[in-house]
Structure 1
């Protein structure tokens, strides 16, 4: 992960001290080289999933749960909470800033959903997340789609855990 600054930036442009994470928080975990953010990126926020699910819907044609899922999670980190939901989207509750993203790269993990690097495709509001260009989903556990057969329209919410890192890329 050469060139990636792995510390949480303590200064946000046009942000008051109340909007900037103040406590030591969660350290940036190791990032696999295959999903590393752009060289020179700085972590602007690190958040741990406190409660989260990946919801899968039954594919009527196959009678199995589809590969795509819809997230619903609460993330906690230094300075506040983030709501993660369909889109995929994230909203920082302290200042209302939000981002949407799309998967850029993934790193499979045995027995759990993959670790990801996502590219931010849209911003909303002003605050912590308006500087995010990329997002890492790391140290995943759980969240795998069920392998059993299912009935048309059936959904199942599978608990998962992860750490999300929001990156400001040069």
Structure 2
């Protein structure tokens, strides 16, 4: 079941925008709202292994923050909010990467699976991530895999930058969560 609603980024909630000095300015990329009934295409590179069952699918809006090191942009952290089917923010996504349920306090930290990424032109790559740690008995207590799909935006600016500068680039994605099948 696709969960679509009002997408509100964590950075927007905090009033964050680009920080620091940059040589360019990242602008939000307009994106189309996904249809609630449209299936999410999943590239072979980011398929979840057999023996897993989908337990949640949530749209996310937020930012990918980059820091300038040695004159080049390097990924620092994501900050996004995932919403339920009514548009209510229920999950916060941050550095780790980590997802925390604001409903039950459960959390999952995951790490990208080697080679499991699908480059999407003009967007951060789609990813397959495997759980590193999980806590709590709620939504994320038994999660084994996470997918980042249908990505839009979030790509680091091109060109040189001033060391120490930071910039946050808007992005959207759909995150899916899996547990081992019973």
TM-score by length of 2: 0.73
* Alignment correspondent of 1:93: 102
RCO comparison, higher one (Cα < 8 Å, 6+): 2
Structure-1 separation of matches of 2:143 and 2:37: 17
**Which among 62, 69, 72 is matched to residue 52 of structure 1?**
62
Moved over 4 A (4+): 25-28
Deviations 1:33-82 (A, max 9, x none): 22100113111111101x300000001x2x1212x330000011248611
Cα offset for 1:152?
1.4
Cα offset for 1:26?
7.6
1:165 and 2:173 correspond:
no
Query: The residue matched to 2:156 in structure 1 has which SS?
Result: coil
Asked if the contact 1:134–1:166 (Cα under 8 Å) also holds between the matched residues in 2, the reply is yes
**Which among 84, 88, 103 is matched to residue 93 of structure 2?**
84
Segments of structure 2 that go 5 or more residues without pairing to the other structure are: 3-35
Deviations 1:89-142 (A, max 9, x none): 000111110000101111111111110000010012220111210000000000
TM-score by length of 1: 0.78
Q: Which has the higher strand share?
A: 1
Structure-2 separation of matches of 1:119 and 1:155: 28
1:73 and 2:80 correspond:
yes
Aligned-CA RMSD value: 1.9
Alignment of 1:21-170 (within 5 A): 29-49=40-60, 51-59=61-69, 61=70, 63-66=71-74, 68-78=75-85, 81-104=90-113, 105-170=116-181
Cα offset for 1:148?
2.5
Equivalent pairs, count: 144
Distance 1:126 1:78, change over 3 A: farther
Structure-1 separation of matches of 2:76 and 2:150: 18
